[in-house]
Amino acid sequence: MIRGACHCGAVSFEVAQPPERIVACNCSICRRYAALWVHAPPNKGVVLYVPDGATHEYLWGDKELIFHSCKVCGCVTHWSGVNGGRFAVNFRLVAPDAYNDIPIRRFDGADSWEFLD
């Protein structure tokens, strides 16, 4: 079990098994957030603990993804699809030694929408 949480602990998540990969996207928002994403469909090994009203939501660009950040400490915790069905958690909220052996793949969200490695 891999656990992650924002700085104050108000928002957290658990990942049942180590993911196959972590994604570093270079789109304009992910680059600024400096996030490392682990993607998961709901109820497939990733559990989010987000109390009602615990996050700010930011919808931008093509209006398909909602980025969530903790209202208390400001950490970007996850994103979710507007229509449900997909989300990703920010693995920067996990202790680094928990993912040292998991490959980080670079994704070109700024241009080609392809992996760069």
Give 11-30 pLDDT, tens digit per residue.
999 999 889 999 999 999 99
Q: What is the DSSP letter of 32?
A: H
Q: Which of 87, 23, 94 is nearest to 57 (CA)?
A: 87
The CB density around residue 48, as the number of other CB atoms within 10 Å, is: 17
- The pLDDT tens digits for 56-111 are 999 988 889 999 999 999 999 999 999 877 899 999 999 999 999 999 999 999 99
For 67, the token pair is 């980025």
| Residue 83 confidence (pLDDT) | 87
pTM value?
0.92
For 5, the token pair is 């949480």
Q: What is the mean pLDDT of residues 3-9?
A: 98
